[in-house]
Amino acid sequence: MCGIVGYVGSRDTAQVLMSGLSKLEYRGYDSAGIAVVKDGSLDIRKAQGRLSNLEKMLGDYEAKGATGIGHTRWATHGEPSQRNSHPHSNCAETIAVVHNGIIENYMKLKQWLISEGAAFSSETDTEVVAHLINHFYDGDLLEAVRSAIGRIEGSYALGVVSENHPGTIIAARKDSPLVVGIGQGENIIASDIPALLAYTRDVIFLGDKEIAMLTRDSVKIHDEYGRQVDRDTYHVEWDAEQAEKGGYEHFMIKEIHEEPKVMTDTLKIKDGMIDLSQIGIDEKAIADIDKVGIIACGTAYHAGMVGKYIIEDLARIPVEVEIASEFRYRKPIIKEGQLVIIISQSGETADTLAAMREAKKCGAKIAAVVNVVGSTIAREADAVLYTHAGPEIAVASTKAYNTQLIAIYMIALELARLKKSIDMNEYTRLVDGLSEVPKLTEKVLDTKGQLQRFAAKNFHKGSVFFIGRGLDYVLSMEASLKLKEISYIHSEAYAAGELKHGTIALIEDGTLVVAIVTQGKLIEKTISNIKEVKARGAKVLAVCFEGTQLAEDVADEVVYLPKADDVFAPILTVTPMQLFAYYMSVEKGCDVDKPRNLAKSVTVE
């Protein structure tokens, strides 16, 4: 949801800002803009639409040694347009502001500022911040920003420059991510790490309500009361190359190919046992757990749904999975000390973060499954199990989901062992099975040629139904989301046995149905459901384990997975489903990595 960047140093600031924004474009691409303080004056340039429009507008514009901020927008307040593009400024255009988040009380502030003489030129909530800072400014920019954020309600990551303070950037955040990169004779801010990796791998994660003042040679951080505070510097392990396409046509296909490696990196097995020592599990407390909550959004929520099925199956503990945006506004029933698992790739999703805080307030113990080290959810949780997916750039999540599943399976197996709901032989068999999954996924990647050919023949379909039973049903939910996100084809996931209770009315000649048929005990049942849709003219693509007998009258095309225990089917099935969505999107000519209307990290409600 919007990306911000800021740079102070001796390089060509315009170029640093543009390169940073190109790494943040996944956060929104309705417009882009930069503001630089150059030769004592503020210069703002912005363009509606993709970053490439701004790039064209800038031509050979240079701003060597200038101080600047930049923004790529995902519109919330005000349509995507030139005048609503960031950076925004005060009337005299002496102060410029970029913002990621939502100022909830902006209407009230706007009316007050207008009564004080301010004239607004956009419909955005952000513009009030520029006018507010100007209102409080009396020569001290840091103090003016501090006073301004004392008046605003909502969420923000802000970058501020002023022509009266060349060589200084003020940055502040609350509930929206902001990273400060510490360089040599240069410093940088960004919404996410990939934007600053070309300059440094030493970063500080700004805390909530903290304000940073950056010059070329210093970074000073203050709390909301103006006291200077020390913050730890993290060294980022992955390098800039990992956030590049590396010869692939799109980030999404590159990231799908990384799945075997990142799943191996996430798996923690020592001497044949799952090793969760890194999250400091209190084994006795776990043995007492009688209910688990899982909260997440989007793809992470779907990983949570798989979690429910396998934790209940293996550990025999009831699990409630909730969408974060629903959970946060209900009166959740949570017992003091209850385990709540939060799943989030970014660790910054606004709804998930708010739901986690809500659960904490109710006394829950929070274990977070997070990909981004040092993110807000990781910092506020009681325990963190990091997935090691590395940077995921494509807006549609792929490899992060696979690693979330690995994490969830590890938790399920540990709960099962500690609860003694499975015996040690079964535990060992399943741990071995889980450790084989990355290798099997290498084989699954071989299905891409088949799926590409299938997509070439079927990309014109207007609607696709995904059906399955048990684990196949929960995996269908993610398969369907992937397809609709990036190919804009309407699609639904249905429990195969439920289809006949209404949705089957939508099946007509040529409707495409993807049937996932991996669960041994349920195969015959699902085959009956496939026959029901075939009888009504559907075209069926089936996914099943090698050795499953699916006659041609049952499915038109079959994708075979290498044999594994049924319990691991979701992790093996998701890769061909991601490939299917990918090739459908490519065939349709869609923008695979940056689907319309979406953003990767949703830091607004």
| Interface positions with ligand G6P (CB under 6 A) | 297-300, 344-346, 349, 352, 395, 397, 598, 600-602
SS3 state of residue 473: helix
CA-wise closest residue to 419 among 289, 264, 310: 289
**CA atoms of 581 and 122, how far apart (whole Å):** 38
Residue pair 472/495 in contact (Cβ under 8 Å)? The answer is no
Q: Nearest approach, Cβ of 597 to ligand G6P (angstroms)?
A: 10
Name which of 200 and 397 has its Cβ closer to ligand G6P.
397
In sequence order, what are the residues at sequence separation of 6 or more whose Cβ sits closer than 8 angstroms to the Cβ of residue 119? Answer: 91
- Hey, which residues are catalytic here? 2, 600
Name which of 489 and 515 has its Cβ closer to ligand G6P.
489
**Containing H/E element for 292?**
strand 292-296
Residue pair 343/304 in contact (Cβ under 8 Å)? The answer is yes
Name which of 352 and 529 has its Cβ closer to ligand G6P.
352
SS3 state of residue 299: helix
Name which of 71 and 594 has its Cβ closer to ligand G6P.
594
Name which of 397 and 519 has its Cβ closer to ligand G6P.
397
**CA atoms of 317 and 160, how far apart (whole Å):** 50
Counts for the chain of helices (H) and strands (E), in that order: 18, 27
SS3 state of residue 38: strand
Residue pair 148/132 in contact (Cβ under 8 Å)? The answer is yes
Name which of 88 and 302 has its Cβ closer to ligand G6P.
302
Q: Nearest approach, Cβ of 27 to ligand G6P (angstroms)?
A: 10
Q: Maximum distance among all alpha carbons in the chain?
A: 79
Q: Nearest approach, Cβ of 114 to ligand G6P (angstroms)?
A: 35
Minimal CB distance to ligand G6P: which residue? 298
Name which of 299 and 526 has its Cβ closer to ligand G6P.
299
Exposure string of 209-221, with b = 16+ CB inside 10 Å and e = fewer, is bbbbbbbbeebeb
DSSP for 181-208?
A: EE-SS-EEEESSGGGTTTT-SEEEEPPT
**CA atoms of 181 and 197, how far apart (whole Å):** 8
Q: Nearest approach, Cβ of 395 to ligand G6P (angstroms)?
A: 6
Q: Nearest approach, Cβ of 592 to ligand G6P (angstroms)?
A: 14
Name which of 301 and 545 has its Cβ closer to ligand G6P.
301
Positive or negative torsion for Cα 69, 72, 76, 80: positive
Q: Nearest approach, Cβ of 253 to ligand G6P (angstroms)?
A: 16
**Containing H/E element for 18?**
helix 13-24
In sequence order, what are the residues at sequence separation of 6 or more whose Cβ sits closer than 8 angstroms to the Cβ of residue 251? Answer: 245, 393, 394, 593
Name which of 486 and 512 has its Cβ closer to ligand G6P.
486
Q: Nearest approach, Cβ of 379 to ligand G6P (angstroms)?
A: 15
DSSP for 123-158?
A: S-STHHHHHHHHHH-SS-HHHHHHHHHHH--EEEEE
DSSP for 395-458?
A: SS--HHHHHHHHHHHHHHHHHHHHHT-S-HHHHHHHHHHHHHHHHHHHHHGGGHHHHHHHHHHH
Name which of 157 and 160 has its Cβ closer to ligand G6P.
157
How many angstroms separate the Cα of 237 from the Cα of each of 255, 390, 469? 18, 9, 40
Which residues, listed in sequence order, are joined to residue 41 by a DSSP beta bridge?
38
Residue pair 213/168 in contact (Cβ under 8 Å)? The answer is yes
Q: Nearest approach, Cβ of 396 to ligand G6P (angstroms)?
A: 6
Q: Nearest approach, Cβ of 481 to ligand G6P (angstroms)?
A: 8
Q: Nearest approach, Cβ of 239 to ligand G6P (angstroms)?
A: 22
Quickly tell me which residue has 């099925």 as its tokens: 309
SS3 state of residue 165: coil
Give me the phi and psi of 496, to 5 degrees please: -55, -35
**CA atoms of 54 and 43, how far apart (whole Å):** 14
